[in-house]
Chains A and B, each alone.
Chain A
């Protein structure tokens, strides 16, 4: 399955929210949908889910216009919300029914998911009697109870303790392994890096960058070197006194040094010179930007 978002534009009144957004999500892979607040992520998601229509552009599944009556989409909104005063099973069945799943099938799906998330004992409880983390797990069950082909998770890990986060990770991995299309929106870059092969970064309603994380990282100049050592001061002194002409910028990062070279071809020379340094060097590698760096670069500022 391939979900294609093609050149969608959307404006609310005078305000242009999306202009020509395009990307592609493959079944069996997770796509990270990133962007600062107000970049247009939720609007994009709502257009995919046909809450409203785009002014132009189209959403295709396997080349045909996406029909939400035939293809089930599971959505976990960033703003969590279910019926606080209704029993969990009752509302899970209701949400599945709305997606066209029969009551008996919904019950079966719900029981399986509740078991997986260790929540079976709460199936008849009212939602507002549960802790926040447990409510979050129920929200996930509500997302998946219709056994969706496309799963859209907006900040799924917020509010979860490490144990629950592990449970959720397993479920996300399972969804990917089952060949489902997973759209993953989060500001926690570590989770994106863990699950997603591909990302789309939206900025002010436009795609700032999209593609595989590896490719995007490779697209960066390879003129930065990271050196880690227990004797970092000594290494820094050695470099500044011997090869300062090759260095554009030098700074300390974590437990090491980050060197920005004038030319990426000078890397072998730096390595050869460092062989004469008496300090004990643990690591010498080309520095690849983190997803956080990429995000900041493409969205003009910090998260």
Chain B
């Protein structure tokens, strides 16, 4: 046990003395601090967010050509009100060629050639991905058409207006989770889990492999029990990771509460920090449990590398499982189908459950017994994976030469378990 603590301390101090690790942590904390304090530094964030300012010179110029005797003035005015302040809408008396020329030469940014109440041509120099102007034009024209149809059928303009602007009064009662609220923080935490589990897992593998390739292992293995070496290293790395994450979370929540009033009304930020406490605690729990499952495997695989360059090939299978788990979970949370059979299965498999069960808990309603079973499976798996990894590690650290293949790893496990 004493050896374990010596190794744990040595690993941890290695992280604290690593300039990259310390620098990165502080850089992120500073970035979080600056980012979250930005509105109070500028002092006018609320105004900006309410109506993003666009300078006069950057307003979009839209030409409207009305061809078939429609009321040009009313069409232009409806277009103006539909497009808003960022657009300057002007009526133009020309044909299709003339309109294209005007747009091409840059006199106008875009143009609408309205052939009939329900047909138009949209001319634009560049069509951006987020261009919704054609959609707005659709809405405007269909509204004009419906209004004139109603008035044509004998409905008074006032009634027609009422019909057109009728709205439904509704109220939503959510008995489970509101995915529109939870999506963002779930996504962020899944991303954080993915990055940190992968990063720290690989740190463990690298650290073991470098001890072996520098042959410091020769001395270590004769000075300490392999299990102490492996568990000390994995726990040291895990603790460093947890500390880094805690620091980042602490900084985030700290800076947010300092600047809380400036973020009022910003749904994006409010939904992240409105995350329930139990979700955050569960995220920490799955980080710890998930980390060990992966770090043990990474540690065992690191012990099989003779040279650091063998490492990538060795850890690939584990990384693949991990990326697949991430892919499944991300597609489930973006698709909103968190309780699909695949996700339910994934939330029990120890390699996928840290992310999958977390996503389900955060965005769906999961019965308590399912959570308990999932955590229990994960917890028991720690010991099984830890034991098997220690067996591989014990043999692996003494093996030099060709990079072992998967069947060699099974051979080690078979011999040792006899």
Contact = CB atoms under 8 A, between A and B. Distances in A.
Contact of A79 (B7, B218, B415): B218
Interface in B213-239: 214-224
A302 interface: no
A21 interface: no
Nearest to A46: B222
Given A83-B214, A97-B6, A142 B398 contact: no
A149 B2 CA distance: 21
Nearest to B216: A81
Nearest to B14: A86
Given A94-B6, A100-B2, A77 B214 contact: no
B223 A82 contact: no
Interface in B29-66: none
A202 interface: no
Interface in A82-120: 82-84, 86, 94-95, 97-100
A18 interface: no
A73 interface: yes
Nearest to B400: A79
A163 interface: no
Contacts of A275: none
B217 A13 contact: no
Contacts, number: 50
Contact of B215 (A52, A80, A86): A80
A51 B220 CA distance: 10
B222 A13 contact: no
B222 A77 contact: yes
B257 interface: no
Contacts of A49: 222
A94 B10 CA distance: 7
Given A94-B10, A97-B6, A98-B7, A81 B219 contact: yes
B222 A75 contact: yes
B321 to A, nearest CB: 29
Contacts of B211: 83
B193 to A, nearest CB: 30
A81 B217 contact: yes
Contact of B218 (A77, A83, A97): A77
A81 B6 contact: no
A86 B215 CA distance: 14
B205 to A, nearest CB: 17
Contact of A142 (B3, B219, B415): B219
Given A49-B222, A51-B398, A98-B224, A79 B6 contact: no
Nearest to A97: B6
B219 A75 contact: yes
Contacts of A142: 219
A13 B219 contact: no
A30 to B, nearest CB: 19
B223 A99 contact: yes
Contacts of A97: 6, 10
Contacts of B217: 81
B215 A13 contact: no
Contacts of A80: 215, 218
B250 to A, nearest CB: 29
A86 B219 CA distance: 15
Nearest to B5: A97
Contact of A95 (B14, B214, B215, B219): B219
Contacts of B221: 51
A88 B379 CA distance: 39
A75 B6 CA distance: 19
A128 B164 CA distance: 80
Given A73-B222, A77-B222, A98 B214 contact: no
Given A51-B222, A73-B222, A83 B216 contact: yes
Interface in B174-230: 211, 214-224
Contacts of A94: 6, 10
A55 to B, nearest CB: 12
A80 to B, nearest CB: 6
Contacts of A46: 222, 398
A52 B391 CA distance: 12
A100 B224 CA distance: 10
A52 B222 CA distance: 10
Listed from nearest, the 6 A-B pairs whose CB atoms lie closest are: A81-B215, A77-B218, A98-B223, A97-B6, A49-B222, A81-B216
28 contacts: A13-B415, A46-B222, A51-B221, A51-B398, A52-B394, A52-B398, A73-B222, A75-B219, A75-B222, A77-B215, A77-B218, A77-B222, A80-B218, A81-B214, A81-B215, A81-B217, A81-B218, A83-B211, A83-B214, A84-B214, A86-B14, A97-B10, A98-B6, A98-B7, A98-B220, A98-B224, A100-B2, A142-B219
Given A75-B219, A98-B6, 8 more contacts: A46-B222, A52-B398, A73-B222, A77-B215, A77-B218, A80-B215, A98-B7, A100-B2
